[in-house]
Structure 1
Amino acid sequence: MFFIVTFLFISCDKKRVFDEYLPILNQKWSKHNTLQFAFTATDTLQKHNLFINVRNNKDYPFSNLFIIAQMSFPDGNVITDTLEYDMADGAGRFLGEGTLDIKDNKLFYKEKIIFPAKGTYTFKVRQSMRKNGNVDGIEELDGLTHVGFRIEKTE
């Protein structure tokens, strides 16, 4: 029965090319903790959507999230982006799917991209939060339990 359920779950996700989560130690994301995901691209014709997945709990203290994302290509080129995502609505309710205490957020990173070369790509992400008026970043960002990276085929 386990194998049947596992097969059905996997087969229902036909868009998925890569999907991996990493846990955040003690649910406190250090500004020095860069998370890294490596994947191999074999298709240089298919368009893909790239997502950063963030799982937070009720202890997340902000309504937004700033992160630095970096994609390294097989030829050595690197693209770095500073990104901001909303994590809560105007009333302070967390966005995403899940229970009241845990929310899963699927955040767009890149849309309809084509990998220019076959080979191994590396995606790195780190938090870059700071309080208003402060130059120094937040040392440990509370309330984040997992961060993931997902690649999907587009239609």
Structure 2
Amino acid sequence: MYKQLLLFLCFILILSCNQNKIYDQYQPVKNLEWSPSANFEFIVNNTDTISKRNVFINIRNNKSYEFSSLFLIAKIEFPSGYKLVDTLEYEMTDAQGKFLGQGFSDVKENKLFLREKVVLSEKGDYKFLIQQATRSINDIEGKNPLKGITDVGLSIEKVK
């Protein structure tokens, strides 16, 4: 009896933790090398034009990632065709070079704000494109792939 009750309570707890997530998808980086020309595309269907949302770019990296920060170009295309483009910089390590993010293994997961408390004011499909723009001193033209990123994701959550 106690085991069944404990199992039921664990199940309810797991469900309640994910109630705010509206969208959560990841895509793997091929061969762990993110080409500067490779876009990660996420299509999100929106029916709620009133509620505020937080939009996150989720990055998983391993110890092969060689930079302290990550530069991204994020594009949002609205159902009407309107486009919004941002160039973003995110810190990936602390001052001592230790990777930020969650995880106990060599892979760290970073949840990075793209938009905070935003209202998706149009019904229909929103297209999110994420492209890396990180360059080394020896790669000013941006021809070399970025190593150490394992997955790129997008998540959208209801504002609490």
Mapped pair 1:78 → 2:78: no
State how far apart, in whole Å, the 2-side matches of 1:8 and 1:138 are: 46
TM-score (norm 2): 0.89
Mapped pair 1:64 → 2:69: yes
Q: Secondary structure at the match of 2:31?
A: helix
Name the CA shift for 1:24/1:110 in 2 (closer, same or farther; >3 Å): same
State how far apart, in whole Å, the 2-side matches of 1:127 and 1:7 are: 38
- What does 1:1-155 align with in structure 2 at a 5 Å threshold? 9-132=14-137, 134-155=139-160
Identical positions, percent: 44
The letter for the 2-side match of 1:154 is V
> Which 5+ residue runs of structure 1 have no aligned equivalent?
none
Deviations 1:85-135 (A, max 9, x none): 000000000000002411000000000000111110000001001124753
- Kindly report the root-mean-square deviation, in angstroms, between the aligned alpha carbons of the 2 structures: 1.8
Compute the displacement of 1:53 (Å).
0.2
The letter for the 2-side match of 1:139 is N
State how far apart, in whole Å, the 2-side matches of 1:136 and 1:75 are: 33
State how far apart, in whole Å, the 2-side matches of 1:63 and 1:107 are: 15
State how far apart, in whole Å, the 1-side matches of 2:99 and 2:131 are: 21
Equivalenced residues, count: 153
Farther-moved stretch of structure 1 (137-146 vs 32-41): 137-146
TM-score (norm 1): 0.92
> Which 5+ residue runs of structure 2 have no aligned equivalent?
1-7
